[in-house]
Amino acid sequence: MTWTWWMTLLVIFAVLVLIGCIPVGVDARYSADGVFLTAKLGPFLLQLLPQKPKKKPKKRKPQQKQPKKTPAKAEPQEKKPNPLLSGGVDGLMQLLDLAFDTLGDLRRKLRVNELTLYVLIGGADDPAKAAMGYGRAWAAIGAITPSLERLFVIKKRDIRPALDYTISNTQIDAHLVTTITIGRSLALALRAGIRFLKILNKRKKAV
Evaluate whether residue 149 is within a structural domain: yes
- Give whole-number Cα distances, 68 to 60, 63, 72, 74, 154, in Å: 22, 14, 12, 17, 61
Q: According to the model, what pLDDT value does residue 55 have?
A: 65
Give the Cβ contact number of residue 175 at 10 Å: 17
- Interior CA angle at 151 toward 178 and 105, to 5°? 80
For residue range 57-109, what is the model confidence (pLDDT) as tens digits?
666 666 665 655 655 555 555 555 555 555 555 666 666 677 767 766 676 67
| Mean pLDDT of all residues belonging to the chain | 81
Are 24 and 41 contacting, i.e. CB atoms less than 8 angstroms apart?
yes
Q: According to the model, what pLDDT value does residue 69 have?
A: 60
Are 134 and 170 contacting, i.e. CB atoms less than 8 angstroms apart?
no
Domain count, the chain: 1
Evaluate whether residue 63 is within a structural domain: no
Evaluate whether residue 73 is within a structural domain: no
Evaluate whether residue 178 is within a structural domain: yes
Distance CA 165, CA 32 (A): 18
Q: According to the model, what pLDDT value does residue 192 have?
A: 82
Q: According to the model, what pLDDT value does residue 179 have?
A: 93
Evaluate whether residue 175 is within a structural domain: yes
Evaluate whether residue 26 is within a structural domain: yes
State which H helix or E strand residue 115 sits in. strand 111-122
How many DSSP H helices and E strands does the chain contain? 4, 7
Interval 155-183 mean pLDDT: 92
Q: Look at 200 and 42; give whichever has higher pLDDT.
A: 42
Share of the chain above pLDDT 70, in %: 73
Domain that holds residue 196: 22-47+84-206
Exposure of 95 in the CB half-sphere (CA atoms within 13 A): 12
Q: According to the model, what pLDDT value does residue 91 have?
A: 60
Exposure of 63 in the CB half-sphere (CA atoms within 13 A): 4
Q: Look at 1 and 206; give whichever has higher pLDDT.
A: 206
Evaluate whether residue 27 is within a structural domain: yes
For residue range 23-51, what is the model confidence (pLDDT) as tens digits?
999 999 999 889 999 999 988 999 998 87
- Give whole-number Cα distances, 18 to 80, 138, 192, in Å: 45, 43, 23
Q: According to the model, what pLDDT value does residue 146 have?
A: 87
Are 86 and 207 contacting, i.e. CB atoms less than 8 angstroms apart?
yes
Evaluate whether residue 37 is within a structural domain: yes
Distance CA 81, CA 176 (A): 43
Q: According to the model, what pLDDT value does residue 19 have?
A: 85
For residue range 114-136, what is the model confidence (pLDDT) as tens digits?
999 999 999 989 999 999 999 99
Banded model confidence at residue 194, pLDDT cuts 50, 70, 90:
confident
Q: According to the model, what pLDDT value does residue 152 have?
A: 81
